Amino acid sequence: MSRNRFWLLLVLCCSLALLVACGGGGEGEGEGEDASETPAESAPAVDTADAGGVKGVVSYAGPDNDTPIAMNADPTCLSLHTTPVDTGKYLVKDGKLGNVFVYVKTGLEGKSFPTPTEKKVLDQHGCQYAPHVMGIQVGQTLSVKNSDATLHNIHAMPASNAEFNQGQPIQNMEFDKVFDKAEVMVPFKCDVHPWMNAYLGVVEHPYYVVSGEDGTFAIDKLPPGTYTLEAWHEELGTQTKDVTVAANQTVDVTFDFQPKTGG
């Protein structure tokens, strides 16, 4: 065999071996890629076709323990009020209690809920937070606004979400924040004005409400099921109620808060 023919055969053999190595197992590799790209099943959305709801009232027979706020330290704050302002912890009217955060604590596990696109707004108006108590859904945008012509400092102090402490020295300044974990409740304070505070309930679903000045509340579009409701008040603690909502049924619920011992 000539030397040229030897080298030609060697090149052909190497090329054939390389072709087999590159092409072999192609079908198995494709199957493996398909298997690894299979998406995980997402949680089903809540079916509200036969939804009902809950409604009720928060009662309270105790005293209004709010005290007057001295705003003398900031003349701008003082000038914004013609009548005395109190701490606003007890919103009591005719034995009913407002500013109570009521939400579905359990019973919605394994369901998914679209994140609302509209923003919730926490305003600083008259050197007070407005609203004093509010709720928001996980992932929804909270817009924090300063409507006063004085410096405010927004200090959120969550236990599960990220803490932030941000100043707003100019009137109409605004910034956005998003909370990515459920947490009831997230307290807010102003480090400039120590009487300013607010509370934000962060939940994974839209089934929450804050009782009005007359103590009433309502949560609608709640699918049939058994739930635990929790009512939270900043001074009086929490209460829970177990309810069963049938199709197209609205259940009446009453929370009855008692005065603090010695209060």
- Tens of pLDDT, residue by residue over 200-210, are 999 999 999 99
HSE, side-chain direction, 13 A CA sphere, residue 18: 6
Looking at residue 260, what is its pLDDT?
Answer: 86
Kind of pairing, strands 164-168 and 174-178?
unpaired
Q: Which long-range contacts (CB under 8 A, 24 or more apart) does 71-78 make?
A: 71/127, 71/193, 71/195, 73/193, 74/127, 74/150, 74/192, 74/193, 76/127, 76/148, 76/149, 76/150, 77/126, 77/127, 77/148, 77/150, 77/193
Question: What residue ranges of the chain have pLDDT lower than 50?
Answer: 1-40, 263
The pTM assigned to this predicted structure is 0.82
d(CA 49, CA 58): 29
- Tens of pLDDT, residue by residue over 136-195, are 999 999 999 999 999 999 999 999 999 999 999 999 999 999 999 999 999 999 999 999
Looking at residue 48, what is its pLDDT?
Answer: 81
d(CA 191, CA 175): 17
